[in-house]
Structure 1
Amino acid sequence: MADSARILQTLVVLAGLAVAVGIGWVLFVFVPDGNLARLLGVVFAVLAGVLGARAASGLAASAFADYDVAEVAVEGPITRDGGGGRLPTTPGGTPADDIVDQIEAADDDEAARALVLKLNTPGGEVVPSDDIRIAAERFDGPTVAYATDTCASGGYWIASGCDEIYAREGSVVGSIGVIGSRINAAGMADKLGLEYERLAAGEYKDAGTSLKEMTDDEREYLQGLIDGYYEEFVDRVTDGRQLSDEQVRDTEARVYLGEDALSIGLVDELGTKREVKDRLADRLDEDEIEVRAFEPEKNVMERLRGGSQAVAYALGAGVANALAGEDGSRVDGFEFELR
């Protein structure tokens, strides 16, 4: 299928190039008089040919696609903007909105009959994770989550919305839980002679602020938010995985290696990417399938920024990890994380 599609694409591109060059030659070379006009005409004819070839290439790719499965990667911490956190604790991931855009682009592409979500993430923010899950659920066709190294917390929140979950034997899967965190700097502030002065409207507006001790009421309030997120997480998994409420809660936010995750129903099968493709080929009633990676376009500055984040992680992970975790949904200084 792929070879014949590529041949057809090449023929369409060549035909488009020939037609565009022919039209350009007539308009810019044959009709004008004078050597300078003809020289310029040749240039314009070549440009017309290039534009025609590009248009024909897009038409050919759409009409004679050489793939039938779309793959979208979810890698690194899951955040709205793709950042790794307030401090360089980890390299940044792909922005959640970009991942959603790629899933929707695959859904709009008639050639993409199935979707593979390749997951290698420790988790991240709650709502961006849910946005990705919803986009995958709306995909019109079979959806498969493929866990590579890590599919934890927010990553599993996403995966549980797919039709099937594959993992490797060495994959780390699970962590169905929510964590809230804050830096208690009240003691340090006292030593430095700093005093927290409250100017706020609303009793719980500054709950979790690091420069003051937390009251019992504030702790109960924030724990209630965490419990609410946890209940939502459990509901997502029980609905998507056909597991009982008790089975999900019994995991107690543990992570599992592939074999154990399979035995308790967190994943459907263990296998390599090749085996995932073979399984999808069976579902699509094809002898073999081709997969195309849908990726957001990145300019030069974005690529350089990604490299600098990796360097920052290598240089600053030690001290940064002692000070801050992954970004989560936040209430003032208090963070909520799916990890």
Structure 2
Amino acid sequence: MAGTGRRVANVAFAVIGALLAVAVGWVLFVRIPGDLAELLGVLLAVAVGLLGLRIAGNLADSVAPTHNVAEVAVEGPISRDGGGGLTSPPMGAEADDVVEQIEQADADGGSEALLLKLNTPGGEIVPSEDIRIAAERFDGPTVAYATDVCASGGYDIAAGCDELWAREGTLVGSIGVIGSRVNAADLADRLGLSYEQFTAGEYKDAGTPLQELDPDERAYLQGLVDDYYEQFVETVAEGRDLSPEAIEDTEARVYLGEEAHEIGLVDEIGTRRDVEERLEEQIGEPVEVREYEPERGLAGRLRGGAQRVAFALGAGVAAAVSGDVDGLSFRR
């Protein structure tokens, strides 16, 4: 009943706002200009009415929200800009957009709890951490619900939530770090290509694909991977209330949901309905969910269109290796 009352109040507020906007538009564009401007005035009045409806609807959702739980999804590989390939548009979870959605939900007075839906194999390290930090800062209960996959960077995000739920068949874990590089030195030799680069600093070009790694460079790059792994283990240990040793013992394996639950990587096994029932217990009333999606203005839409054109033309090589360090890619 509470949800129905909020919806009725929301609709009433929006209708009143729209009628007021139409009345103002009618006075400004029909009554004042005179007969010659009536047609244009009517059109302008309708336009003002539609604008008023939109504004009133937004205000109504703030004054009498129809929801009490905000849902934000993290789906696909995690990166700063959504990833993509040479001939495909960006895809996957765009970290900045996800963070913005969580912050909007937190600022929204109607969002008493956050439901973070996870279906991701992980991705770039810092973007994953940004999403986790945003979830930690949400003012209210936060429940992560893993559907198909919650691995690596996805599990990093889950560690920032109060609870993690999964299905029996969900793949969970992969608490590790991978550093990779393409070794094209032999290919360059066969093609008669030689590598020459001018650098300042002994390890500035460590990991460059066109030259073999020497033992010192390999140890240096492995050290970076080890440092990232140590940070990851500490984050999960603190967020999931587990010992670092227990996390290290997983050796970055993935587990099915039931086994992940048995070893403490997951709090509960259940369906989406079970998760909503848990949220009802936490907020003390029936759950009404609002799904948050990226809000893109004109500039964002134009930028997204330009990206798609670039990918379609086979451009975007720089974007394909964005976040890499001299040819070495770090991922969770």
Note whether the superposition's TM-score is higher than 0.5: yes
1:332 counterpart residue number: 326
The amino acid across from 1:239 in the alignment is E
The amino acid across from 2:267 in the alignment is D
1:118 counterpart residue number: 117
TM-score (norm 2): 0.89
Higher mean alpha-carbon deviation, 11-20 vs 150-159, is at 11-20
Q: Is this contact kept in 2: 1:328–1:336, CA < 8 A?
A: no
May I ask how many residue pairs the two structures share in their alignment? 321
1:240 counterpart residue number: 239
Q: Is this contact kept in 2: 1:157–1:237, CA < 8 A?
A: yes
Distance 1:4 1:273 in 2: 25
Q: Is this contact kept in 2: 1:97–1:128, CA < 8 A?
A: yes
1:273 counterpart residue number: 272
Rate the CA distance shift 1:328–1:157 in 2: closer, same or farther, 3 A: farther
DSSP 3-state at the match of 2:164: strand
The amino acid across from 1:276 in the alignment is V
Distance 1:22 1:297 in 2: 30
TM-score (norm 1): 0.87
Distance 1:126 1:38 in 2: 60
**Alpha-carbon displacement from aligned partner over 1:14-36 (angstroms, at most 9, x marks no partner):** 22222223333334434444x21
Rate the CA distance shift 1:268–1:88 in 2: closer, same or farther, 3 A: farther
Give the CA RMSD over aligned residues.
Answer: 2.6
2:159 counterpart residue number: 160
Q: Is this contact kept in 2: 1:137–1:161, CA < 8 A?
A: yes
Distance 2:212 2:43 in 1: 74
1:135 counterpart residue number: 134
1:184 counterpart residue number: 183
Q: How does 1:1-339 map to 2 (within 5 A)?
A: 1-33=2-34, 35-84=35-84, 92-286=91-285, 288-297=286-295, 299=301, 302=304, 329-338=323-332
Instruction: Tell me by how many angstroms 1:133 deviates.
Output: 0.6
The amino acid across from 1:257 in the alignment is L
Q: Is this contact kept in 1: 2:81–2:90, CA < 8 A?
A: no
- In structure 2, runs of 5+ residues without a counterpart are 313-319
In percent, how many aligned pairs have the same letter? Answer: 59
Distance 1:328 1:168 in 2: 33
Distance 1:76 1:252 in 2: 23
DSSP 3-state at the match of 1:330: coil
Q: Is this contact kept in 1: 2:89–2:307, CA < 8 A?
A: no
Distance 1:40 1:91 in 2: 42
Distance 1:184 1:134 in 2: 35
Rate the CA distance shift 1:183–1:75 in 2: closer, same or farther, 3 A: same
Q: Is this contact kept in 2: 1:125–1:328, CA < 8 A?
A: no
